[in-house]
Amino acid sequence: MPKLIGWRLKPASCWLASTFVGVIIASCYLLPAYWNNHPLSFHEQQFGAIKNLTEILPCSKNLDRKIIILQWTTYFWKNESEYGFGGAPFDRCNHSRSVICLMTMDRSLVNESDAIIFHVRDLNPNDLPPVEWRRPHQHYIFFFYESPMHTDMAKLRLPVFQHFFNRTMTYRRDSDILDLHPYGRMKCIDTSSRSCLNYPRSNGSPVVEDTFDSAKNSFQIDLSLKNRTVAWFATNCNTDSRRESLIHSLSLFIPVDIYGSCGNGSHRCTNRVDCDLMLNRYYRFYLSFENSLCTDYVTEKLYRPMDHDTVPVVYGEADYSSYLPAGSYINARDFDSPRSLANHLNKLMNDDELYLSYFAWRQKYVVDRAPVDGMCQLCRLLSDENTKEKSYADIATWWYSVNQTCRSPPASLV
């Protein structure tokens, strides 16, 4: 009875108790949505409150782990990320509901981070986490999309970076995490189909011939306006691959329309959307020529034309058969001279049926211009208790070995 009287005398206490219970229940449902829609930036301190709250909420027991990934450096000198922050980078990953990965730039979380990402272009030897702060479970990640030819190799050779990195996250297929987010990849339309290959193929995987049914090639292109030969969009006109020399030689035998600062100004398009529309409508070929001839260096230059009904003419040091279905591209390095390449392109200009055969790949594939596989792989690696320890004794040698990682342009073409 005294307890009952006590409750009657204190209605405010009852209201507060019921409100607290309501907050807990609502948090169980609303916090996951909050994580996904509120990025964690270098300046925001809200994450600390969320982290502490989930430790006392009943619903947090359903989370086996919260994995924190700290981006230590800026990204091309800005407080930005290629993928975004918070839970956004992992929205499209098929992960267990018992694990949540979060991306942040909040350095106050350095001791609680499972991985720390260092963007190589922004790497500063004088601005690294103190050695004594490093935790045994942390992964220091070498993160880069540029080729070794555009890397400060002297910096990577500094003693401080020996045994510093224990994971790599780059475009190269021998990386711990293969990340093609800014470049693209081919994706199966029907992921359950056994005849659809997973591109790019991993190193050492068996070579399987990709086949298509010519009778089912219903993909049609209006070729009535698609009568211009070759287009090239570029602003970098002096490259290690000497692609500009090859293009000049090619233009002696076949029309090459150059847009951007590498051209003479006679060909223009106002913005990227207009350029893509023009490419789709008028041109049969696009020069997907890389600025460096380095292993696996395949950029958006390859996937841009494929996404706009144009056949790419590739020039690089990649094994393109590991990136694209057979018969979907033309490799300039398969020809012994610019003239012989021009002769082949001229043949396709005059044979519509043969030209259209280059689009048979559309039976099974689409172009994914911004794949998230890299971040999904990283989240899986960090959440896997069986992930083995690893360390790169000499990251500079792994990234760039003379005459192995990058090569000189072939004399027959340039």
Instruction: Encode pLDDT of 143-157 as tens digits.
Output: 999 999 999 999 999
Report the share of the chain in percent with pLDDT over 90: 73
The beta strand positions in 81-163, using DSSP E, are: 99-104, 115-119, 139-144
Alpha carbon distance 102, 51 (integer Å): 11
Residue 245 is encoded by which pair of tokens? Answer: 């020399």
Cα-flanking dihedrals φ and ψ of residue 57, to 5°?
-75, 140
Cα of first residue to Cα of last residue in the chain, in angstroms, is 98
187, 367 contact by CB (below 8 A): yes
Quick one: pLDDT at residue 94? 80
Burial of 241 (0-12, 13-18, 19+ CB in 10 A): buried
Alpha carbon distance 76, 145 (integer Å): 11
Enumerate residues 6+ apart whose C-beta is below 8 A from 221: 309, 356, 359
Instruction: Encode pLDDT of 175-204 as tens digits.
Output: 999 999 999 999 999 988 888 999 999 887
Quick one: pLDDT at residue 401? 85
What is the pTM for the complete model shown? 0.83
Residue closest to 134 by CA, chosen among 155, 112, 117, 118: 112
Determine which helix (DSSP H) or strand (DSSP E) holds 17, and give its type and residue range.
Answer: helix 11-37
Angle at the Cα of 326 from the Cα atoms of 187 and 377, rounded to 5 degrees? 30
Q: Which CA distances in Å does 219 have to 16, 44, 370?
A: 65, 49, 24
Q: Is the pLDDT of residue 108 over 80?
A: yes
Which span out of 39-48, 229-238, 400-409 was modeled with the highest average pLDDT?
A: 229-238
- DSSP H helix total and E strand total for the chain: 11, 13
SS3 250: helix
Q: Where are the alpha helices (DSSP H) in 283-402?
A: 300-306, 338-349, 352-356, 373-383, 395-399
Quick one: pLDDT at residue 379? 95
